[in-house]
Amino acid sequence: MGIAVSVIIPVYNMESYLEQCLNSVCSQTLENIEILCINDGSTDGSGEILEKYAKNDKRIVLFQQTNSGVAASRNLGIKCARGECVIFMDPDDWYPENDILEVLYQKATEHHALVCGGEFSDYNHMTGEYGYEFPERYYGYKFEKEGFIDYRDYQLILVIRDFCFSEKCLLITKYFFRR
């Protein structure tokens, strides 16, 4: 069986959050994943954490580069990804449930979707609170669970993506990047 999903994690000085992120990815129920970690020249303990996890989990592929920015790191991940689909994850994020990738992949393949997304919550590090609600002026753009969008609506979604869902919870088929 080939790789279903490539999880791309660009890392720069995120020592405080990285282990929670990696634990949440490594514990996903979808087994045929690869985890591409791009260390973008971190000067804290992020590099050591990445090396430790890569040594203990064969699904983790570690790339080292001089600081080039998050876009360059994600592009390297896309270039090296072997999965049928890719998903981006920031190192200060985590999956609250172990079946998130499995559900996204299942829905994407079941409906032959190029892009498949889900809900996300926003964690405020200052208050320790999670936010799930969008501002009232964007209520019309909130999707129902397991809802689907029409291509005609896609352009609008990109404009307001931060109010609907983030690229962090979008599973994207590699075909999308070859176009």
The string of DSSP letters for 110-130 reads HTT-SEEE----EEETTTTEE
- Specify the pLDDT at position 119: 57
- Specify the pLDDT at position 46: 98
Q: Which domains does the chain have, with CATH numbers?
A: 5-170 (3.90.550.10)
pLDDT in tens, the chain (179 residues): 799 999 999 999 999 999 999 999 999 999 999 999 999 999 999 999 999 999 999 999 999 999 999 999 999 999 999 999 899 999 998 888 899 899 888 888 887 777 777 655 555 666 766 555 544 444 444 444 444 444 444 433 333 333 333 344 566 766 556 55
On the CB side of 164, CA atoms within 13 Å amount to 22
- Specify the pLDDT at position 161: 33
Element (H, E) at 63: strand 60-65
Query: Where do we find the tokens 């989990």?
Result: 57
- Specify the pLDDT at position 121: 56
Q: Is 118 exposed, middle or buried (0-12, 13-18, 19+ CB in 10 A)?
A: middle
Rg of the chain taking only CA atoms, in angstroms: 16
Q: Is 117 exposed, middle or buried (0-12, 13-18, 19+ CB in 10 A)?
A: buried
C-alpha 64/C-alpha 41 separation (Å) is 7
- Specify the pLDDT at position 28: 97
- Specify the pLDDT at position 1: 74
- Specify the pLDDT at position 125: 60
Q: What six digits make up the tokens of 43?
A: 């000067």
